[in-house]
Amino acid sequence: MNQETLLVGLAGVLAAAAPIIFAVLGETLSERAGVINLSMNGTILLTAMSGFAVAYTTDSLLLGFLAGMVIGALVALVVAFASITLKQSQVAIGFVLALTCRDLAYFLGNPFMGVSGPRLQAMPIPALSAIPIIGPLFFRQELSTYISYIVIFLAWLWIFRTRPGLMLQGIGEKPAAAYIRGANVNVMRYVYTVIGGALIGLAGPTYSLGVRAGWMGTISGLDGIGWIALSITIFGGWNPARAAFGSYLFAFLQWLGLVLQPVLTQVPSQVLQVAPFPLMILTLLLVNIGDAEWVERTLAAMPETTRKFMAKLLRAMRASPPAALGVPFERD
Amino acid sequence: MRSRLSTLFDALLPVLATLAALAVGAVMLLLLKVNPVEAYGALWKGAFGSTNAFAETLVKATPLLLVALGICISFRGDVINIGGEGQMIIGAIMATWIGLIFTDAPGWLVITLALLAGFLGGAIWGGIPGVLKAYFNVNEILSTVMMNAIAVQLMNFLLRGPMIDPSQAELASKIPQTARLIDEFHLARLAPTRLHLGALIAVILAVLVYILLWRTTLGYRIRAVGQNPSASRYAGIKVPRYMVLALLLSGAFAGLAGAVQVYGVNYRMITDGSASGFTGSAGFNGIVAALFGQLHPLWSIPASILFGALLVGANSMQRVVQVPSALITVLNGLVVVFVVSSEIWRVRRQRRRLAAAKEDEAPPTPDQAKVQTEEAGQ
């Protein structure tokens, strides 16, 4: 493999990670506020279909993306209403929505199956794209990929470097304390769930109008991405920077699978298709293993230096969810 | 008198919630410019209109009930098993494999072995996320979903490769399916319809799961861990062990559902390359049925029949009045949301009533105990 194809491949990884980043960051915002939006898998399918359908009918990419965001926000609104106002199980409502949205996408998308429609074109940034290596890697992408860079940065800045972001952390960790400090916990949860939903809704059109242009129904290969994004959210420890790293890692592994397929011909194709899933389970395991009781016991029995090293390693990998995640807030 | 009326109202609440959901569905039908009376008429006729229709409803309800029984166990133990699809697939693969290699053995023996193999296969596929959850803190919602994806690829590999129907292997189409099981291995029919012995097995198991959950130490401990893990730990219960058991048993019932589908309905394992191509999404719909049945094994029986009827009726509704079958999924969802909401409302009312009656504190009646367990179930 020469440098040229390698660069093109890696640039493809950055583009393929963009929709995952939107979904993961949307979920991160929602979960930071304490609401699990489990509908993600269905939302991505539904917004991919509707984004493509709207862009195809109106011939406007912008309207396609907007449609995706609006639908993502609406689905999130249902999750928010059921979990915040009706105090339902977030898992139950999210799961039902995940199935419903998926079926709706496949059904309503029938007329748009396999038609060729508008798609995003690469938009090289004038001066920057001329820089060797960095240019072709980062700056000859589609608009959605540039937006994904910006969203990572903004989400990180918002959560960790602004006052409302600090309040957001409080709402997810100690809603009662945030309430005493003057935050309207439930309203803020609504706002973040809906904004998060809109971001998740951006993921669908990014697929259907860019990375995997078009709508192919059940063979779009998008079913399951929402669940992967959910585990990347956990892997990312509810931190946008780490979540972005997880998304890039996943996209890279998928690309590696494709590249290796012709090389490893004796391996059945299903092995490479399935590889991301055990890998995700393994990463979830590494992220959480530090909290396990028996690990602490084993660590305590180790010699001093090994223990310190292992403890540091485990702490670096660990990710703890917001304390009030999934718990309805009631003033009393 | 007042309390009896109130009890009656509580019992009817799920029915009222279902009617409310159907009313919302009727509004949607009107928006689609379809006469709701005609549409619901077609649905009813398709599901209950004739002996054959009703038998078809029960055939659809059987895997839902088996999956729902497992869900009752795991959700009561506060572990969320979304892996029904994958567990069904693995159970079916193991069961089919038994039927394809022991072709000379007597039918009753092979069927028994196959159902046990299905049970075992599902138990393994549910047990892995259980161990990951109990000993490694891995979120079980995510790991069970991943296990689904792995099971699908395993199924595609086996049904296109080592286990493919020899006659398909020679054709160019290469439909991913196994050879047909010989006639002696088919589950007995219960009537001159497609209804098979699996339905009866599922109902008997529902009673057994009820006994397991409320009349045995194992069931008590699973529920105790689900309600309050830290209190259970102080009471000397080995919490991780019961988490694993809850998921393992839950997977086992889904695996059995897969085996029953093969031996009672299809007589071979066949797919279109997706999970639902084999399971018909029973692994997911079973969760919905269990939630509707308030995570109670016996209530899961009518709940499964209701959702079986919705699935069968939806097909005929789609044929007669040309409405999208996706509307039925929406309707299913609405039913669940309405029922779960009404349930929460009922528990709150009950709690208020209990608080009012606290002065004459007596040992809790079974009814009160039930309320407490149901609160934990949500």
pLDDT tens for B263-309 read 999 999 998 877 888 988 899 889 888 888 888 999 999 999 998 99
Q: How far apart are CA B351 and CA B232, in angstroms?
A: 23
pLDDT tens for B340-363 read 667 666 666 667 777 777 655 544
A147 is a domain residue: yes
Structure confidence at residue B61 as a pLDDT band (50, 70, 90):
very high
Inter-chain contact A289–B136, Cβ cutoff 8 Å?
yes
Which range of residues forms the domain containing residue A212? Answer: 3-240
pLDDT tens for B167-176 read 888 887 778 8
First-to-last alpha carbon distance for chain B, in angstroms, is: 30
Using a CB-CB distance cutoff of 8 angstroms, which residues of chain A are in contact with residue B281?
A: 99
Reported pTM: 0.81
Q: What count of residues does chain A have?
A: 332
Residue of chain B minimizing CA distance to A78: B337
Structure confidence at residue A155 as a pLDDT band (50, 70, 90):
very high
Residue of chain A minimizing CA distance to B137: A288
The tally of domains found in chain A comes to: 1
The pLDDT value recorded for residue A65 is 96
Domain range B35-322, CATH architecture:
Orthogonal Bundle (1.10)
Q: Which residue did the predictor score with more confidence, A272 or B213? A: B213
Which residues are within 8 A (CB) of B105 and not within 5 positions of it... i.e. 6 or more apart? B113
- Interaxial angle between packed helices A225-235 and A276-288, expressed in degrees from 0 to 180 and rounded to the nearest 10: 30
Q: What is the three-state SS of A291-316? A: HCHHHHHHHHCCCHHHHHHHHHHHHH
Phi-psi region of A262 (alpha: psi -120 to 50; beta: other; left: phi over 0): alpha
- Which value does ipTM take for this structure? 0.75
Using a CB-CB distance cutoff of 8 angstroms, which residues of chain B are in contact with residue A230?
A: 141-142, 145
Q: Is the pLDDT of residue A135 over 70?
A: yes
Q: How far apart are CA B46 and CA B315, in angstroms?
A: 8
* Mean pLDDT calculated for residue range A46-50: 95
The pLDDT value recorded for residue A318 is 77
Q: What is the three-state SS of chain B? A: CHHHHHHHHHHHHHHHHHHHHHHHHHHHHHHCCCCHHHHHHHHHHHHHCCHHHHHHHHHHHHHHHHHHHHHHHHHHCCCCCCCHHHHHHHHHHHHHHHHHHCCCCCHHHHHHHHHHHHHHHHHHHHHHHHHHHHHHCCCHHHHHHHHHHHHHHHHHHHHHCCCCCHHHHHCCCCCCECCCCCHHHCCCECCCCCCEHHHHHHHHHHHHHHHHHHHCHHHHHHHHHHHCHHHHHHCCCCHHHHHHHHHHHHHHHHHHHHHHHHHHHHCCCECCCCHHHHHCCHHHHHHHHHHHCCCCCCCHHHHHHHHHHHHHHHHHHHHHHCCCCHHHHHHHHHHHHHHHHHHHHHHHHHHHHHHHCCCCCCCCCHHHHHHHHHHHHC
B287 touches chain A (CB under 8 A): yes
Inter-chain contact A99–B281, Cβ cutoff 8 Å?
yes
pLDDT tens for B77-111 read 989 898 999 999 999 999 999 999 998 889 899 99
The pLDDT value recorded for residue B224 is 93
Inter-chain contact B135–A38, Cβ cutoff 8 Å?
no
A280 is a domain residue: no
Please work out, in degrees rounded to the nearest 5, the angle formed at the alpha carbon of residue A322 by the alpha carbons of A318 and A324.
145
Which residues are within 8 A (CB) of A20 and not within 5 positions of it... i.e. 6 or more apart? A203, A225, A228, A229, A232, A247, A250, A251
Using a CB-CB distance cutoff of 8 angstroms, which residues of chain A are in contact with residue B284?
A: 95, 99
Inter-chain contact B142–A107, Cβ cutoff 8 Å?
no
pLDDT tens for A83-132 read 888 777 787 788 778 888 888 888 788 889 888 888 888 888 888 888 88
A59 is a domain residue: yes
Using a CB-CB distance cutoff of 8 angstroms, which residues of chain A are in contact with residue B341?
A: 86, 88
Question: Which of B90, B155, B329, B344 to mutate to probe the A interface, most A CBs <10 Å?
Answer: B329
Q: Where are the domains of chain B?
A: 35-322
The pLDDT value recorded for residue B368 is 45
Q: Is the pLDDT of residue B220 over 50?
A: yes
| Chain A residues bordering chain B (beta-carbon distance below 8 Å) | 38, 82, 86-89, 91-93, 95-97, 99-100, 103-104, 106-108, 218, 223-224, 227, 230-231, 234, 268, 270-271, 273-274, 277-278, 280-281, 284-285, 288-289, 291-292, 294
A275 is a domain residue: no
B149 touches chain A (CB under 8 A): yes
* Mean pLDDT calculated for residue range A135-155: 92
Tell me which residue in B82, B136, B344 faces A285 most closely, judged by beta carbons. B136
Q: Is the pLDDT of residue B364 over 60?
A: no
Residue of chain A minimizing CA distance to B128: A281
Structure confidence at residue B366 as a pLDDT band (50, 70, 90):
very low
B284 touches chain A (CB under 8 A): yes
* Mean pLDDT calculated for residue range B211-240: 92
Q: What count of residues does chain B have?
A: 378
Tell me which residue in A96, A224, A288 faces B336 most closely, judged by beta carbons. A96
Please work out, in degrees rounded to the nearest 5, the angle formed at the alpha carbon of residue B348 by the alpha carbons of B290 and B81.
25
* Mean pLDDT calculated for residue range B185-213: 93
Tell me which residue in A91, A96, A292 faces B288 most closely, judged by beta carbons. A96
Across the A:B interface, residue pairs with CB atoms under 8 Å apart total: 106
pLDDT tens for A217-234 read 877 778 878 988 988 898
- Interaxial angle between packed helices B107-136 and A276-288, expressed in degrees from 0 to 180 and rounded to the nearest 10: 40
User: A184: distance to nearest CA of chain B, Å?
Assistant: 24
The pLDDT value recorded for residue B325 is 66
Neighbouring C-beta atoms of residue A255, cutoff 10 Å: 16
Highest mean pLDDT among A100-109, A181-190, A257-266, B109-118: B109-118
Residue of chain A minimizing CA distance to B340: A88
Q: Is the pLDDT of residue B1 over 70?
A: no
A312 is a domain residue: no
Q: Is the pLDDT of residue B204 over 60?
A: yes
pLDDT tens for B114-158 read 999 999 999 999 999 999 999 988 888 888 988 998 999 899 999
Structure confidence at residue A137 as a pLDDT band (50, 70, 90):
confident
A291 is a domain residue: no
The pLDDT value recorded for residue B372 is 46
First-to-last alpha carbon distance for chain A, in angstroms, is: 64
A245 is a domain residue: no
* Mean pLDDT calculated for residue range A167-185: 89
Q: How large a percentage of chain B has pLDDT more than 90?
A: 50
Q: Is the pLDDT of residue A299 over 90?
A: no
The pLDDT value recorded for residue B16 is 81
Residue of chain B minimizing CA distance to A230: B142
The pLDDT value recorded for residue A1 is 62
Q: How large a percentage of chain B has pLDDT more than 70?
A: 89
Averaged confidence pLDDT in chain B: 86
Burial class (CB in 10 A: 0-12, 13-18, 19+), B240: buried
pLDDT tens for B27-45 read 888 888 888 899 899 989 9
The pLDDT value recorded for residue B18 is 80
Using a CB-CB distance cutoff of 8 angstroms, which residues of chain A are in contact with residue B336?
A: 92, 96
User: B94: distance to nearest CA of chain A, Å?
Assistant: 19
B139 touches chain A (CB under 8 A): yes
**Are A135 and A129 spatial neighbours (Cβ–Cβ below 8 Å)?**
yes
Averaged confidence pLDDT in chain A: 87
Q: Is the pLDDT of residue B323 over 70?
A: yes
B364 touches chain A (CB under 8 A): no
* Weakest-pLDDT range from A176-180, A213-217, A323-327, B149-153: A323-327
Tell me which residue in B82, B132, B288 faces A281 most closely, judged by beta carbons. B132
* Mean pLDDT calculated for residue range A180-184: 86
A317 is a domain residue: no
